[in-house]
Structure formats: C-alpha cells, structure tokens
Amino acid sequence: MSSVFGKNIKIAIFGQSHAEVVGVCIDGLPAGEHIDKEALADFMARRAPGNASFATKRKEKDAVEILTGLVDDTTCGAPLMAMIRNTDCKSKDYSQFKDTPRPSHADYVAEIKYNGFQDIRGGGHFSGRLTAALCIAGGICKQLLEKKGIEIFSHIYTIGDITEPLFEQIAPEKNMLEKLARSHFPVLNENIGQKMIAKITEVQADCDSIGGGIECMVLGMPVGVGGGMFAGIENHLSSAIFGVPAVKGIEFGNGFSCMHLKGSENNDAFCMTDKEVKTASNRHGGILGGISSGMPIIFRTAIKATPSIAKSQKTVSLSEKKDTHIEIKGRHDPCIVPRAVACIEAATAIALYDLLLTSKI
C-alpha cells in the first residue's frame, strides 16, 4: 500500500522530485502489444511544463526511457520498467520547509509520518513531479485501451469562477474530441478557454494561484465491465484518481446535482437505439451498480489551486513551536489544471485497463 496500484496489472511508481529519476514498473501487461513510443511522447508532452506562458519554469525534457519489458517495442510478458531522469533540480530551494511547513502541502504530515526522514527536496515523493511516472503508465494503458476501441477525452470545465458547458450539454462531434486530445489547454468553447487563460495570467501576476475542474468522458467501454460493491468502476477509478495530487473531489454522471433531483427526474430510461440497448439520457454517467452500461462514462474532478504561492503565508516553526511566516520562492505553476488533464486521463486509463483485464474464464 503506497505507490502500488492495480489488481491484474500492478503499477509501482518510484522516484522523488529531486531523486535521480522518477519512473514506474508495470507488471502483468499482456505479451504481444506494440507500444508506440512517439504517441507516448506526445501524451507525456501534454503533462510537461513549459507549454504555456504561465507554466512552471522548471524545464524537463521528460524523455521516457523504457529499460525492460519490450522486445522490438512490443511487450514480452515481462514487467515493463520506464523512467525519466530528473535533470533540472534545484534542491537548495527547499531546506527551510522542514521546519516551517508550507500551508496545504504535505511537509508537516510527512515530517510526522516519516519521523523527519522524508525527502523534503521539492516535495520528495509527494511532488507533482511523480505524476510524470503516472503518465508513463497511463499513456501505455491508454494505447492498450485504444486498441480495444476505448477512448478517453477530457476538457477543463472550470477555472476559478469561469465555467464552460459539460459534455452532456454539448454532445461534441468526433473531430472536436480529437482536437481536445491534441490540445494543451483543452476546452469545448475556445472563447471561454481564452478567458480561463486570462484568469490564470491574472492570478500569476498577483503571485497567486487558482483551482479548476476537469471533466472526463470514456467512449467505447463495453457493457459489463466493473462489478458490485467494492469492485465497481467508481471505487477503482476514484482510488486511482486521488493518486493525482490536489484532487479534492470526484463525481460521476450528474454527480452532486443528483442530490436535488427526484427519482422521476434522475432516472435514465432505457431505449432501443440502432438495435442496441441505450439510455435516453446519461445522468448515471455510464455506470450502474458499479458496472459499465455501454453509455459514455462521465466524471468530473475538482483540482485545488497550487498551494505554492509567492505571497507571504502564516505557518509555524516546528522547532520553536511558535507561529511565523513563510514565503515560497521557486518555480511553480499558477494553475496546475491544464497539466493535470493528462494525469487524470492517465489514472483513468490505468484503472479502466486493469478492470478490463478482469478475467472471464
């Protein structure tokens, strides 16, 4: 229990922000699957910093080295190990946070849990840097899902007080979805997207940061994947998604708004569509009783503002046991939501591919 995930495949993530590498070992991949390294690099680029004016100034090439598990770029049944070298670490930035923990970071809880032995440099294993390893595993699972006709699409539906329509309201065409998959700031409405970017630029200028929300849609999942009780898609997906730092909530289908609806308003009627069983609406988000219904799987996650802000903040000195202030220098994203999109997709791909592998004898 820690940085290992999965039942049929096992994802073991390793690395710290300022260790030599971050990476992942994936056990249980079926043999004979070709891995498109270029497509993987493209996926990694969606998470990489430096793609927008407002992103962190830390530059990493993030070149993925796959050292085991492939023969001629094809899985061979052996565990796949891949890693990325950490080349642009500035460790001296972080030494003070051991005594004066950064608000809303893991510094304080790590100090207690690990008796002061945690790697404080760059947030150590708690760093967002670790999501690069998640994206390697997720990028690979995403390719394997795509071979089965299962695709994941996402958009940023909220930044601060700016919100755009949801998938269910827009019902986007395929070419719109493909555009999302290539974008570094994926939105359904470009005008609103520009306002979101303006908002991020504004908070950055003010030495602040901002939160947001991501909506995900999974197309092509066959009926019958998942299971009852603890084997449900929601259970497995949420336990993967909360592996992405800064996620504060997850909701499926119409989510929290279901609280306000009557059964007659909330239920999705079954209907025959093109000789297939579908539902007329999709408030259930493609999951019934934990099991895929054949409708798009829809969920949203809330991402909090980067806690690293340049403004002065109140904190305590652990050694002196008194209140004090802290200013966090360094290179930080004013909004991690755009980069979190790939991470959420990665976690989704891992969880769903793992569920898909559940055996039917």
- Using CB under 8 A as the binding rule, whether residue 360 contacts a second copy is answered as yes
Kindly tell me which of 36 and 179 has the beta carbon lying closer to a second copy: 36
- Distance between CA atoms of residues 225 and 145, nearest Å: 13
- Chain positions 130 to 169 lying near a second copy, rule: CB under 8 A, are 130, 148, 158-161
Question: Minimum distance between the CB of residue 296 and a second copy, rounded to whole angstroms?
Answer: 15
Question: Minimum distance between the CB of residue 137 and a second copy, rounded to whole angstroms?
Answer: 12
Provide the b/e sequence for 80-91 (b: ≥16 CB within 10 Å).
bbbbbebeebee
CB 271 within 8 A of CB 280: yes
- Using CB under 8 A as the binding rule, whether residue 204 contacts a second copy is answered as no
- Distance between CA atoms of residues 299 and 250, nearest Å: 7
- Distance between CA atoms of residues 170 and 164, nearest Å: 10
- Chain positions 252 to 281 lying near a second copy, rule: CB under 8 A, are 252-272, 275, 277, 279-280
- Chain positions 280 to 299 lying near a second copy, rule: CB under 8 A, are 280, 283-285, 288-293
As given in the structure block, the two tokens for residue 131 are: 């999501």
Rg (CA), the chain: 21
As given in the structure block, the two tokens for residue 154 are: 């996402």
- Using CB under 8 A as the binding rule, whether residue 92 contacts a second copy is answered as no
- Using CB under 8 A as the binding rule, whether residue 63 contacts a second copy is answered as no
As given in the structure block, the two tokens for residue 347 are: 């976690």
- Chain positions 338 to 357 lying near a second copy, rule: CB under 8 A, are 356-357
- Chain positions 162 to 201 lying near a second copy, rule: CB under 8 A, are none
Kindly tell me which of 179 and 201 has the beta carbon lying closer to a second copy: 201
Per-residue x/- marks for a second copy, 312-331, CB under 8 A? -xxxx-x--xxx--------
- Using CB under 8 A as the binding rule, whether residue 75 contacts a second copy is answered as yes
User: Binding residues for a second copy, how many (CB under 8 A)?
Assistant: 149
**Strands, E, within 6-62: which ranges?**
10-15, 21-27
Question: Minimum distance between the CB of residue 320 and a second copy, rounded to whole angstroms?
Answer: 9
> Which SS3 state, helix, strand or coil, does residue 230 take?
helix
